[in-house]
Structure 1
Amino acid sequence: MAQFFKEKPNKSKQLSAKLSLDITQLDHLGAGIAQHQGKVVFVAGALPGERATVQLVEQKKSYAKAKLIKIDSPASSRIKAHCPHYVQCGGCDLQHMDTQAQREHKQTALVDLITKLSSAEPVAENLVATPIVDDAWHYRRRARLATVFDKNTQRLQLGFRAANSNKIVEINQCPVLAAPLSELITPLAVNLNQLKAKASLGHVELTQADNGHFAVLRVTKTLPNSDLRWLSGFAEKHQLNLLLQDEAGQLTQIYPALSSDEDKVTLPFYLLADNSVRCSFTPGNFVQVNGVINQAMVEQAIDWLEPQAGERILDLFCGVGNFSLPLAKKAAQVIAVEGVAEMVEQAKQNALDNQLTNVSFYHADLSADLSEQTWLGKIDKLLLDPARAGAYESLQWLQKMQPKKVVYVSCNPASLARDSSVLLANGYRIAKVGLVDMFPQTHHIEAMVLFELGK
C-alpha cells in the first residue's frame, strides 16, 4: 500500500495541560519565572510571590514559555492596570505592578545582569546610585500613532500596534503620553476621517516640545487644498504646529503658515543645562521620550564625568547633541560622533544656534573600522549612548583612546553587561551603577554606569 508523508506535530508548540506554578521572580524582560520538571518557565503577566494557573505553549531543552490563564493568589505588588487598552496594546507591559515594585525589580535586574554577564565582581551596595525617577504617568513627550484605512468601512483607524502583532489597537487616550497629546488623540482621529485623501495618510507623530505641541502627518501623495484648509483649521483650534512629511522625508508646514517660501519650517526643541542649551530635532530623529528624566540623566552624566576646562571628551552615538552640547558648556573640548548623517547636520546646527565653538560633530559608522578616522585618538573621558545593540565594536579602540573615565548610558542591560566585560578586561573598574527610570509601566531598563581606569 502506498504511504504518504505526514508531517509530525511540532512538540515544542504543543499546548500542555493546565499547571499551577509558583512565580519566584521576574526576568529582565518583565516575565514571571517559575520552575517545572527541572526547567525554567517564563510566564508573561505573572509577578513574584504569585501562584498562577498556566499552560505551556513552547518547550525548549532548558526552558519553556507559558500562557497565563489566571492568578490563583495575587502578589501584594499587583494592581489594576490604569489604561483601558492595556491588555491589547503593545506599548506597556508592567502596568499590573505597582510603580515602586517596578523600580526595585529593574534596579535588581540591572545589577544582576551586569554581574552575571560581564563576569564582574558583585557590585557593592555603595556603588549603586540612587535611581533617577519622576512621575510614572503622562511622561512621554513623543509618540508615533499608526494608521490603517479600512476599505470596507471607508474609515481611518488611529492607534498603537497590538502586542506581538501588526494589527492596530484603536485608542482614545494614553495615560503614559503627555496629557495634552493624549487629549488630542480622539479629536485628531475624528478630523482625519473628514479628509478626502484619508487613505493616503501614514503614521502620525505627536510631540510635546518646549516651543509647543507638534503633529507630523506622513502622507503618500499630495493632499487636495480642501484637506489642507481643514487641517489648518484643526491645528489653529488646538494651537498645534502641524507639518506634513512626504515619502522622501520632505517637510511642509501647514500651520502656522509660513510668510514666504524662504522661511524655514519650525522645528521642535527642548532645553537642557538650566535652559541654557536649546536642542532642536526633526521628525524621525531619535530623542529621549521622557523629558524630565532626560534632563536629570544628562546632569548626572556630566556630574560623573567631571569635565574640566581643556579636557578632550569623546561622545559616541551623540544624536543631535543631547550630551555633547551641555558638555561643551563646561568648557571642555568635545568631539561628538553619530552614525546618522541627518542627525549630525542637525547637531552642527544646534551648536551654531547655541554659539558653541568647542564641540565638533562627525559622521561615522561606529560598528566599522575606525582606524582611519581623524577624530580617533587619545582622549581624557568618554561618553557612550548607543542603541540597543550596544557599543561592542567601538570599545575595541579603547587602547587608542585611553580615557580615564567612561560613562556608559544604556537602554539594554544585556548589551551593557556584554560591553562591560570589554571595559573590565582593559583595566577599568565599575565606580557607579544607576537605574534611569525612563520608561515606567514597561519592562525597559535604562541605565548609567561609570567606569574608571584602575591605577
Structure 2
Amino acid sequence: MAQFFTNKPKRSKKMSPRMTLTMNQLDHLGAGVAHHQGKVVFTPKALSGETVELQLVEQKKKFAKGKLIKVLVPSPDRVVPDCQYYEECGGCDLQHLDVDAQRQHKLNTLSQLMEKLAKVTPPKPEMISGEAWRYRRRAKLATSFGKASNRLNVGFRKSASRDVIDIESCKVLPETLDRLIKPLADTLNQLKGVKRLGHIELIQGDKLAFVVIRTPEALSSSDKNVLKEFALEHDLNMILQLNDNQFESIHGDELLPSYQVANSRLQFSPGSFVQVNASINEKMVAQALEWLQPQSGERILDLFCGMGNFSLPLAQSGAHVIGVEGVKSAVKQAQFNASINRLKNVEFYDCDLSADLSAESWLGKIDKLLLDPARAGAFECLQWLKKLSPNQVLYVSCDPSSLSRDTKVLLDHGYQLQKLAMIDMFPQTHHIEAMALFSKK
C-alpha cells in the first residue's frame, strides 16, 4: 500500500516570558542550575546562589536551557570579565567567576562525578594549578573573509556559531604571541591571496615563536616575501601549511618547535597534539613521576603516549618504557624525540587502542601502566587489564566523566583509588583535567 507523507510545519524556537529564578549550583559545564515547574533549568553565565532574570530558549521533557538576561542578586564570587571579547567569544566561558572559586568548583565537580558515576568515595583531590592568564603556548586562530568589509577577520569563533570575531589581543596567550595578532592580521590583509587563507596557528617554543598559516593553494612569490619581512621584523619562524599536511618554511632555521619537560626535550609538529599549558604540563609530569616512582628494571606501559610527553621522562629513570599511540605521525615524532634524548630503553608502537589487541607483541605482563587518553577515555583497552596485570595504574584524564566511568572498571578488577588530583590546565574555562592513581588491593 502506498503511503504519502506531508512535511510537518517547523516549530520556531520561541522564547518564554522572562522569569526570575535562583541558582542552587553549577553543573560540570559551568552553567547555573535551577528548577522550574519540575524541570532542571541550565543557564550559562549564571552562578550558584544568584537570583537572575532569564528566558527559556530551549525546552525538553526533563530540562530546559535558559538565557541570562540580568543578574538581580549577584554571587560574591562574581567578577567583571577581564576580556573585551568575553560576551561574544566562545573560549573562556568562566571569566565571570573568581579564579579561586573556579578551582574550588572544579575540585567539587571532580569529586561529585567520581561519587556519582564510579560509586566510590574518592580521596580529597589535590590541585595542580598555575597562572590564571598568559598560560597558552599555542592557539589556533580562525579566519573568514568579510565581503562587506573586504577584510580578513582573524580571531576566535563566537559561542555556538561559525562566525569569527575579529580580535586584536587575547589575554590567555603569552605576550610574545598576543602582540603578534594585530600586526599579523594587518599583514595578511596586504596579501594578494588573502581570500585563500585558512586558520593560523601561533606557537611559543622554548626558543622562538612560530606562525603557521594554512593555505590550501600556493601563495605567490610576492606574498611569501611579505610574510618573510614580517617574520624578520618580529624574529619568528614563518611556516605555510599546504595540502596533505605538508609544510613550507618561509623564514627560520627550525621547522619544528620544541619544549623541555623533566630533563627531556620534545619536538612537535604544527597541527599535532601538545599540552598547551607549559607550566601545568611540567607540574603534571612531575606529579606523575612522584606518584609512580619509576625504577630501573621496571617495565612500564604508556598507552595513548602521543609524542612521548610521559614516556621519555619515565624512561629517564632507567625503567623500560613501551609507548603506544594510534596516530602514526605522533609515533614517528616520539621515536625521533627518544633519539635526540639518547634514550634506548624506550620503544614506540603504532596501534588502534580501541581494536583487538590480543596479537600485539607488546601486550603482556607489566609493572606499571600509564593512561593518557582523549576525551572518550580508555574503556576498550582496559578490557586487557587482566593480561597486563600492573601493580599500579596512573590515569591522566581530560574528561572527568570518562575517568569516572573507567574508574569503575578498575575497581571491578580489584584496584583501589589511592590518589586524585584536579589539573587546572585551562583557567577561565569550565574544562577539568584530572589524574588518578590506582593500586592493586
In the superposition, the TM-score normalised over structure 1's length comes to 0.94
Please say if 1:239 is aligned against 2:224: no
Aligned to 2:204: 208
Q: Is the 8 A contact 2:123 2:420 kept in 1?
A: no
CA distance in 1, matches of 2:272, 2:92: 22
How far is the alpha carbon of 1:150 from its aligned partner? 2.6
Please say if 1:271 is aligned against 2:260: yes
Aligned to 2:379: 392
Q: Is the 8 A contact 2:123 2:419 kept in 1?
A: no
Aligned to 1:123: 122
Match of residue 224, structure 2, among 219, 222, 228: 228
Aligned to 1:146: 142
Aligned to 2:302: 315
After superposition, the C-alpha distances for 1:152-209 in whole angstroms (9 at most, x for unaligned) are 4432111111101111011100001111111110000001111111112111100011
CA distance in 2, matches of 1:166, 1:173: 20
CA distance in 2, matches of 1:5, 1:51: 45
Deviates more, 1:191-200 or 1:434-443: 191-200
After superposition, the C-alpha distances for 1:49-71 in whole angstroms (9 at most, x for unaligned) are 10011111222222211111110
CA distance in 1, matches of 2:271, 2:151: 26
Aligned to 2:427: 440
Aligned to 1:417: 404
How far is the alpha carbon of 1:418 from its aligned partner? 0.7
3-state SS in 2 of match to 1:248: helix
3-state SS in 2 of match to 1:307: coil
Q: Is the 8 A contact 2:123 2:418 kept in 1?
A: no
After superposition, the C-alpha distances for 1:286-334 in whole angstroms (9 at most, x for unaligned) are 0001000000000001111111110110101111100000000000000
Aligned to 1:132: 128
After superposition, the C-alpha distances for 1:318-362 in whole angstroms (9 at most, x for unaligned) are 111000000000000000001100010010000000000000000
How far is the alpha carbon of 1:220 from its aligned partner? 1.5
3-state SS in 1 of match to 2:396: strand
How far is the alpha carbon of 1:105 from its aligned partner? 0.1
CA distance in 2, matches of 1:147, 1:241: 20
Match of residue 281, structure 1, among 248, 262, 268: 268
CA distance in 2, matches of 1:208, 1:49: 40
3-state SS in 2 of match to 1:270: strand
CA distance in 2, matches of 1:308, 1:383: 14
Aligned to 2:245: 249
CA RMSD of aligned residues (A): 1.4
Q: Is the 8 A contact 2:50 2:74 kept in 1?
A: yes
How far is the alpha carbon of 1:6 from its aligned partner? 8.4
Change beyond 3 A, Cα 1:8–1:224: closer
Change beyond 3 A, Cα 1:421–1:255: same
3-state SS in 2 of match to 1:314: strand
Aligned to 1:262: none
CA distance in 1, matches of 2:175, 2:371: 32
CA distance in 1, matches of 2:316, 2:332: 20
After superposition, the C-alpha distances for 1:62-102 in whole angstroms (9 at most, x for unaligned) are 22111111100100000000000011111110000000000
CA distance in 2, matches of 1:9, 1:219: 40
User: Gaps spanning 5+ residues in structure 1: where?
Assistant: 259-264
3-state SS in 1 of match to 2:243: coil
What amino acid is aligned across from residue 248 of structure 1 in structure 2? D
CA distance in 1, matches of 2:148, 2:193: 16
CA distance in 2, matches of 1:8, 1:64: 22
CA distance in 2, matches of 1:223, 1:295: 38
How far is the alpha carbon of 1:38 from its aligned partner? 2.1
Change beyond 3 A, Cα 1:170–1:314: same
Aligned to 2:177: 181
Match of residue 355, structure 2, among 365, 368, 377: 368
Aligned to 2:15: 15
CA distance in 2, matches of 1:9, 1:246: 42
User: Gaps spanning 5+ residues in structure 2: where?
Assistant: none
Change beyond 3 A, Cα 1:56–1:328: same
How far is the alpha carbon of 1:15 from its aligned partner? 2.4
3-state SS in 1 of match to 2:64: strand
How far is the alpha carbon of 1:151 from its aligned partner? 3.7
Aligned-pair identity (%): 54
3-state SS in 2 of match to 1:319: coil
Pairwise mapping of residues 71-150 of structure 1 onto structure 2 (< 5 A)?
A: 71-120=71-120, 122-125=121-124, 128-129=125-126, 131-150=127-146
CA distance in 1, matches of 2:244, 2:367: 41
CA distance in 2, matches of 1:155, 1:215: 20
Change beyond 3 A, Cα 1:72–1:197: same
What amino acid is aligned across from residue 56 of structure 1 in structure 2? L
What amino acid is aligned across from residue 267 of structure 1 in structure 2? L
After superposition, the C-alpha distances for 1:374-428 in whole angstroms (9 at most, x for unaligned) are 1111111011111111111111110011111111111111111111111011111
After superposition, the C-alpha distances for 1:14-59 in whole angstroms (9 at most, x for unaligned) are 4222111111110111111111122211111100110011111222
